[in-house]
Structure 1
Amino acid sequence: MAQLLKEIRRNPLLWLLAFVPVVFVAEKVAPHSPSLIFVLSILAITPLAALLSHATEAIAAKTGDATGGLLNATLGNMTELVIGLAALRAGDYTLVKASIVGAIVANTLFMLGASFLLGGLKHHVQEFNRATVRMQASLLFLATVALLAPSIAADSDPGGSLGFVRRLSVGLSFLLIAAYGLGMLFTLKTHKEAFGSVATDDEAASTHWPLSLALSTLAGVTVLVALVSEIFVGVVQAGAEAFGMSQAFVGFVVVALVGGAAEMASAFAGARKNHLDLSVGIALGSASQIALFVAPVLVLLSYLVGPHPMDLQLWPGAVVMMMISVLAATLVTSSGRSAWFVGALLLMVYVVFAMTLYLAPPAAGGVAPP
């Protein structure tokens, strides 16, 4: 605990942890000020993300970058799951679907691109394990095909039964969860030797936190991130409207970036310290988990907590953006090496999507169930 307090005193960014209790108090005493709570939630999540980053680095130093990246992505995606559950209970399926697609695209373009950029500005050329990229890209391609099927079925027969699309979505959800489980078995058990980290000479990337402190900090901070995120989703719509944002843009950009803040902080820190395997593992591993686990779980849970079942039918451009994101990430990582310019290109593709969605948001009927 003394080491944790020392880290908080040393890092000015962690002083923003004071906003964590403030946002809880603001929710109780000023529930009719969504814009204020909206901003406070973002300020509270930011230092929590930084603290989560430090704990993840400590775990990665003990377990290896691949396992550390998987663990961080798993705990980090609890935030997306909590946000999705809160939106499901409110029946806001537009926000749920937009945040799912936005999180996948943000991880494969924004998080990966920013990691390459930040790492490349400090290190001339960085290397990483190409096997990890190929594996995660294959899983994301499968998820994209599965998410495309309900949209094709609905478009080919506009007057068809809504029940068919929902039944298809349920079947695809079980298929995606099974694929995710098989992928974990392949990378962590039967062929784990192929997914080791590329060795680096940067010893500064290690941390002296004991594993017990790192694990307890990681778990505790993840819970706090989830709680703050639940407050955030309750005010995100009203708060975003006050800043002139559409609902689809909020889900695709704002919720995706805020929900993934913890993972992004860890990925960026790893890249700066020349542990690019950790960054790639977090970015693409998180995208795969959202597509293969979070999205289908939310579909299944909608039968329990939602006002009506949710399907996997997306607006026309969503699957296209996912496919382009996967192809772009696969293209720029095919050599197993990166530089700052590669990251800049990925970020530009992400900005194109964000600008397009901000200026011409999809019709709500293309996202939410009828």
Structure 2
Amino acid sequence: MNARISEIVSEARASPLLLLLAFVPLCLVGEHVWPERHTLLFVLSVLAIVPLAALLSRATESVADRTGQAVGGLLNATLGNLTELVIALTALQAGQYMLVKASIAGAIVTNTLFMLGGAFLIGGLKHHEQQYNRVSARLQAGLLFLATVALLVPSLLAEAESRSTMLQPLSLGLAVLLIVAYGLGMLFALGTHKEALASVGHAESAETPWPIPVALAVLATVTLLVALVSEVFVASVQHAAETLGMTPAFVGFVIVALVSAAAEMTTAFSAAARDQLDLSVSIALGSAAQIALFVAPLLVLLSYVIGPTPMNLQFWPGAIAMMLIATLAATLMTNGGRSAWFVGVMILMVYAIFALALFLLPPVA
């Protein structure tokens, strides 16, 4: 075991990317030393999250190598969304419900379009054509569509003034239903129909996996550090965005979502390059489905305990439209079970259209 740990340390030293780990303590110390220098803290937090994402990716790959790509994808999605959950809980406790909803919608759209499209593009550039289990992709896309419909209903009913009183109990009921649906979906995927969702790709040999105890220890430590650095990032990004000329809508939907999902993206992209596209699809769609089916309803339930007032599931029309279009795009593009680089380009173009619209024409609410 000692020899294996020494190997891991040597591997870390040999990676130029991990030299950026020096920015982690610098970022955390800088939060107390330069609390008013928001742009500097923003840059430091981004530089700190990048190597942490690389470590999280490497540890997750080691676990996935022994548990299978389905469980590995679920694990990576869960750990990646843990950072999103920590950020949302902080905003929830402060009563910043618009920030909570913006981070939820942005994460769903980013994971569904940018992460999935990027994986298809990167994998397609290295491999002429790739295959993945379309049954698994269809399940994840179906769960995501279910959640999008559930989020659409409160927003539609909110337009009718006479029905506004039922918005909160409706949101509470939908939250319970979504969590139940997510649990049953996991039972289907990892239990009763596990064999139908097995990987179909021909994976290349990856680096030697780490021992499970070491990988789990790295996962726990790095996840905690990512959460701490993410808090610095969120606290500074709004002020830094004003300095850099970015709109609040663009920051919430694009910048925060991309940085929060850095660890998952690192794993999804590297897996696609190794022809492990099942893992990439599982991470991208699984993460988006987990946010919509578990994180969002969990925040509604927790708002009754830690929030100043209960939170509902009403999103503004622009957010609902983007989540619905992202879900339909992912469903359409993953229906065939095969992918090439141009499929990734088309998905990324949808994301680019959304990002451009948010940058130039931010929504009023």
* TM-score, normalisation: structure 1: 0.95
Q: Is residue 47 of structure 2 the alignment partner of residue 47 of structure 1?
A: no
Question: Could you tell me which residue of structure 1 aligns to residue 343 of structure 2?
Answer: 342
Q: Whole-Å Cα distance in 2 between the matches of residues 140 and 126 of structure 1?
A: 23
Which residue does the alignment assign to 1:200? 202
Q: 1:143 aligns with which of 127, 144, 147?
A: 147
Q: Which amino acid aligns with 2:280?
A: S
- The Cα of 1:307 is off from its aligned counterpart by 2.7
Aligned mate of 1:178, from 177, 180, 194 = 180
Q: Name the residue aligned to 2:298.
A: 297
Cross-structure match for 2:78 = 74
| CA distances 1:275-305 after superposition (whole Å, capped 9, x unpaired) | 1111011000000000001111112222222
Q: Give the alignment's Cα RMSD to 1 decimal.
A: 1.3
Q: Equivalents in 2 of 1:145, 1:265: separation in Å?
A: 30
Q: Which residue of 1 aligns with 2:32?
A: 28
Which residue does 2:216 correspond to in 1?
A: 215
Deviation at 1:18, TM superposition (A): 0.5
Match of 2:167 in 1: 165
Report if aligned partners of 2:203, 2:274 keep a CA contact under 8 Å in 1: no
Which has the larger displacement, 300-309 or 219-228? 300-309
- 2:151–2:315 CA contact under 8 A, matched in 1: yes
Deviation at 1:48, TM superposition (A): 0.4
CA-CA distance at 1:235 after TM superposition: 1.9
2:298 maps to 1:310: no
2:161 alignment partner, SS class: coil
1:14 aligned onto 2:15: no
Alpha-carbon offset, residue 206 of structure 1: 4.9
Separation in structure 2 between the aligned mates of residue 338 and residue 205 of structure 1, nearest angstrom:
21
- Give the deviation of 1:245 after TM superposition: 2.1
> How far apart are the structure 2 equivalents of 1:20 and 1:233?
15
Deviation at 1:306, TM superposition (A): 2.4
Residues 1:302 and 1:247: Cα distance change in structure 2 (over 3 Å): farther
In structure 2, what is the Cα distance between the partners aligned to 1:333 and 1:113? 10
Deviation at 1:92, TM superposition (A): 2.1
State the SS of the aligned residue for 1:31.
coil
In structure 2, give the amino acid aligned to 1:84: A
Note the alpha carbon deviations across 1:103-130, whole angstroms, 9 max, x for none: 1111111000000111111111111000
Q: In 2, distance between residues paired with 1:208 and 1:289?
A: 26
> In 2, Cα distance between the equivalents of 1:154 and 1:261?
35
Q: Is the 8 A contact 1:69 1:281 kept in 2?
A: yes
Indicate how the Cα distance of structure 1 residues 199 and 359 shifts in structure 2: closer, same or farther if over 3 A, else same: closer
In the alignment, is the contact (CA less than 8 A) between 2:268 and 2:283 conserved in 1?
Answer: yes
Counterpart residue type for residue 115 of structure 1: A
1:277 aligns with 2:281: no
Q: Tell me the SS of whatever aligns to 1:208.
A: coil
Aligned pairs for 1:323-362 (under 5 A) are 323-362=324-363
Residues 346 and 199 of structure 1, relative CA distance in 2, 3 Å threshold: closer
Q: Output the CA distance in 1 between the equivalents of 2:28 and 2:83.
A: 17
Determine whether 1:97 maps to 2:101. yes
* 8 Å contact from structure 1 (residues 205, 274) kept in 2: no
Question: Compared with structure 1, are the counterparts of its residues 69 and 201 closer, same or farther at alpha carbon in structure 2 (3 Å cutoff)?
Answer: closer
Say yes or no: does 1:239 pair with 2:207: no
* Inter-partner Cα distance in structure 1 for 2:203 and 2:74: 23
Task: Decide which moves more: 89-98 or 352-361.
Answer: 89-98
* Residue from 9, 15, 18 that aligns with 1:5: 9
Conserved? CA contact 1:179–1:292, under 8 Å:
yes
Write the distance in 1 (CA, Å) between the matches of 2:77 and 2:142.
18
- In structure 2, distance between residues paired with 1:249 and 1:45: 20
CA distance in 2, matches of 1:67, 1:209: 17
Return closer, same or farther for 1:216/1:2 CA change in 2, 3 Å cut-off. Answer: same
The amino acid across from 2:178 in the alignment is L
Following superposition, the deviation at residue 10 of structure 1 comes to 1.2
Instruction: Please tell me whether the aligned partners of residues 300 and 313 of structure 2 are also in contact (alpha carbons under 8 angstroms).
Output: yes
**CA displacement at 1:160 relative to structure 2:** 4.6
Structure 1: give runs of 5+ residues left out of the alignment.
365-370
CA–CA distance in structure 2, aligned partners of residues 169 and 21 of structure 1: 41
Q: Which amino acid aligns with 2:94?
A: A
CA contact (8 A) 1:302 1:309 kept: yes
Task: Give the letter for the 1:46 counterpart.
Answer: V
SS at match of 1:176: helix
- Cα offset, 1:246, TM superposition: 2.4
Residues 12-64 of structure 1, C-alpha deviations (whole Å, 9 max, x = no match)? 01111111000111001111111111111111111100111111111111111
In 2, Cα distance between the equivalents of 1:158 and 1:40?
Answer: 46
Q: Contact 2:56–2:223 at 8 Å: present in 1 too?
A: yes
Q: CA deviation at 1:234?
A: 1.8
